[in-house]
Amino acid sequence: MITLIKTTVKLLLRNKGFLFFLLITPLVSTLILAQKIDSDVYQEKTTGEVIELESIAARAIYESSYESFIVKVYDGARTTLSEYVLQRLAENGMFSVCRADVTGLSDEEILFRAKKDAYDDRAGILLYLKPVFDRAVMDDSLSDGIELFRVSADSREELFTGELSGILSQVYRTGSVCGKDTSAVLSMMKRFTEQIPEKQVTDLAGRNEVVLSNQQTNNKTQIGYAFAIITLGFIFSGVFAAHTVITEDNNQVFTRIMLTGTSTVKYFVSKFVVVILMCLLQTGVLAVCLGFVRGLDLGMPLPFFLLIVFLLGLIFGTFSMLTGILFGDIMSANYIAFAVWSISAMLSGLLFPIGDSSEMLRSISYLMPQRWFLDASEKLLAGISGAFPILLTATAAYLIIIISIGSVGLKIRKPAA
């Protein structure tokens, strides 16, 4: 078996494709992890402040917090009163208020834009403040100054409309006392709001939920991208290992090995050991690359991160090797390997967050190995226990499934002796 392992490793080290993935994917992953992402400005902009859009065509979804209810406002009034109302809505904490200046545009143009945004944007509701907004509010004829476009079935719509109605009712009642003088109304309303206890918005997590800070969220995003790149190297390295088996089979090397008294089980165990060595080698190259990065902050100890990478590589390397052996065709193995990598990376949440996706998509994501490893990384980032049981259990479960299916397939399709 040792001879088989040495021979296979030598063949892999002579393979330029294997050397490419051995060196390039860890290097690219290191470059991703070395980047400094600072989302503090983003968080400040989306918390308690009206977000100013560059134009009416700008999408509110790209400027807002995904967790809050997004309100896109077409502000055709641009008065101190409209500014006050929108600021009160933003300070609520549940809404991301994004304002576009539409002064000078007609009602028909606004309606056309609203219909387009209803499909292109992910705002929960569209709010149009007409040029006569101030007078309409003071006269209690809101239909003349405000138009709402409901574009989602989100239950938070009722909370928003209730909050908006409450603010406008206060303005109307105050205007009745102040003689509809906007300056006097705003002065009195501001004194009233100053007496209200300051609201503090706190993120609460359930038993199975983890709340991350801004920096931890950035680390999780970077780790997800790094996982996507490094697993590409692992999965194609497994294909190269399968290529050695296919070549040995085609050149009758497998037959000669069997004639020496080596069992088929021992032969394929040696190939599995080679996959383990490949994963160790690629993880080692990644460790060396990360060692040259000054001030590296992964949010977790480096040995923990490397362990996660190694276990993840073990799953994908084993899968791609057995797939290549079963199909007996290196081209088909490449197609399947790339398809599995791309689909699993997307569905597991490595490339984009899936927390706000449908329940069915979130359920499907747990069929992907990367999702479990990303969840374990999240626990390590937050300093919560339970990460290593997830890692070991997920690795063992996937390896058992992959090897079991591969064993059945190998019995059906044995290399020609």
> In tens digits, what is the pLDDT along the chain, a chain of 417 residues?
788 888 888 888 888 888 888 899 999 989 988 876 654 444 444 457 888 898 888 888 777 766 678 899 999 999 988 998 998 888 887 888 999 999 888 889 998 999 888 888 878 899 999 999 988 888 888 888 899 988 877 888 888 889 999 888 888 888 887 777 778 888 887 777 666 666 555 555 555 556 666 677 778 888 888 898 999 889 988 888 888 888 877 777 767 777 777 777 787 788 888 889 999 999 999 999 998 888 788 888 899 999 999 999 999 989 988 888 888 777 888 888 889 888 988 888 888 777 666 778 888 888 899 989 988 888 888 888 888 998 999 999 999 988 888 777 666 655 444
> For residue 201, is it within any domain?
no
Under 8 Å between Cβ of 315 and 402: yes
10 and 155, same domain (yes or no)? no
Q: Please give the Cα distance from 290 to 296 (Å, whole number).
A: 8
> For residue 417, is it within any domain?
no
96 and 173, same domain (yes or no)? yes
161 and 301, same domain (yes or no)? no
> For residue 113, is it within any domain?
yes
> For residue 256, is it within any domain?
yes
399 and 255, same domain (yes or no)? yes
27 and 158, same domain (yes or no)? no
Q: Which of 161, 194, 227 is the endpoint of a domain?
A: 194
317 and 180, same domain (yes or no)? no
> For residue 328, is it within any domain?
yes
186 and 57, same domain (yes or no)? yes
112 and 261, same domain (yes or no)? no
Q: Which of 194, 225, 255 is the endpoint of a domain?
A: 194
373 and 257, same domain (yes or no)? yes
Burial of 47 (0-12, 13-18, 19+ CB in 10 A): middle
- Tokens for 195, please give them: 């007496």
Report the CATH number that the domain containing residue 118 is assigned in CATH. 3.40.190
> For residue 200, is it within any domain?
no
Q: Which of 194, 224, 249 is the endpoint of a domain?
A: 194
146 and 271, same domain (yes or no)? no
| Domain region containing 341 | 2-37+213-412
Q: Please give the Cα distance from 84 to 161 (Å, whole number).
A: 16
92 and 122, same domain (yes or no)? yes
Q: How many CA atoms lie within 13 A of 182 on its CB side?
A: 13
User: In 3D, which of 208, 127, 114, 117 has the Cα closest to residue 165?
Assistant: 127
143 and 249, same domain (yes or no)? no
